[in-house]
Amino acid sequence: MNDMASNENGQRKSILTVATIMCAALYAISSFATAYIPSPWGFGQFRPGVVIPAFFAAIFGPMPAGIGAALGTLIADSVKHGYLYPGSYLAAVPGNFIGFYLFGYILRKKFNWGRFILASNVTLTIANLIVAFLYIFVFKTLYLGSLELQLADLTFLSIGLTIWWFVTMLPFVLLVTPPLIRAVATAFPSVVPKDVRIHSLTYELPKKTFSLSMLVPGLIMLLIGVLTTYTDFNVYLSTVFSEPTSILIQSMLYISGIVLSCLGILFYAGKDVIGRTLKK
């Protein structure tokens, strides 16, 4: 019995090790593929590849996802810059590890689609907040000394990056990851935890919760965009970040708000391609 338990533990550790390596490799490749698409501020990349560690968090748990995300982002950033990039290990690595470890932890004890939606929103908020503040305050300000801004301006910039990452990542995590989980649960049921397999193959995504998880952030983005355009905040943006950057920021708010709102409404209607795809 002891030998059987030891063999099972050994096999489990081997699977988790392989999963960690695969997560890191796939995340590095997917992140590098979009590494040259920046935010409106000129730094902070577009990264739909977050579906990779989100998927591994759901299937293999917190540690493979956290370590894989941390290593993957470090590899992608370092390859892009041609050296071990300080901005990555000072900001992106800790943020990605904490975020996707938390993602797996939320889903570890009991998987269902409601918890998956909760994990997606919580993880993307916390992880992006950590990365943004560490990147702006620690890397850009303390390490490089390249941002000569007031504390309030640095804080706004960090929050702006957090919002941009959140709204550009959330649709991919919510729309792409569930079909991936279902596909693996169907093709490789022995690898997938029982509760993940049962819920992913038997239960539908909660339409109302899923819809609101995109509609609410979308409406908030639109509201912030309107306030930015029609209040003195527009003057503040133009003064601190220049007129072209101010226009890009406002465009980001309107576009992301419209896209998220439309996706939420379409999914709730239940007659769109997205809904039919996720129900297969």
β-pair partners for 45: 38
Let me know whether 48 and 101 are in one domain: yes
Residues forming a β-bridge with 128: none
Place of tokens 């409601």: 114
Does 253 share its domain with 141? no
Tell me the range of 35-49, 55-69, 193-207 where mean pLDDT is highest.
Answer: 55-69
Say whether both 35 and 92 belong to one domain: yes
Backbone angles phi, psi at 218, to 5 degrees: -65, -45
DSSP readout, 47-64? -GGGHHHHHHHHHH-HHH
Closest CA to 247 of 225, 221, 265: 225
What confidence score (pLDDT) does residue 10 get? 63
Q: Do residues 59 and 16 both lie within one domain?
A: yes
Tens-place pLDDT, residues 227-252:
888 887 777 777 766 777 778 888 88
Give the mean model confidence (pLDDT) for residues 87-110. Answer: 95
Question: Mean per-residue pLDDT for 32-52?
Answer: 89
DSSP 3-state of 261: helix
Q: Is the pLDDT of residue 12 over 80?
A: no
Q: Which residues of 142-177 are buried (b: 16+ CB within 10 A; e: fewer)?
A: eeeeeeeeeeebbebbbebbbbbbbbbbbbbbbbbb
The tally of domains found in the chain comes to 2
Task: Check residue 130 and give its pLDDT.
Answer: 97
**Domain co-membership, 6 together with 60:** yes
User: What are the tokens at 23?
Assistant: 């997560």
As given in the structure block, the two tokens for residue 264 are: 């939420």
Last residue of a domain, one of 203, 227, 255: 203
CATH of the domain at 160: 1.10.1760.20
pLDDT band at 42 (very low <50, low <70, confident <90, very high): confident
pLDDT number for residue 2: 53
Question: What pLDDT does 191 receive?
Answer: 87
Show which of 152, 179, 203 is a domain's final residue.
203
Range of the domain at 41: 2-203
Statement to judge: residues 76 and 166 lie in one domain: yes
Tell me the pLDDT tens digit for each residue of 60-95. 999 999 999 999 999 999 999 999 999 999 999 999
Residue 60: which of 6, 122, 99, 103 has the closest Cα?
103
Instruction: Assess whether 117 and 225 both reside in one domain.
Output: no
What is the model's pTM?
Answer: 0.86
Claim to verify: residue 74 and residue 125 sit in the same structural domain: yes
83 and 183 in a common domain: yes
Computed over every residue of the chain, the mean pLDDT equals 87
71 Cβ contact partners less than 8 Å away, ≥ 6 residues apart:
20, 24, 27, 28
User: Are residues 222 and 165 both part of a single domain?
Assistant: no
Residues 195 and 221 in one domain: no
Residues 267 and 144 in one domain: no
Task: Name the domain boundary from 165, 185, 203.
Answer: 203
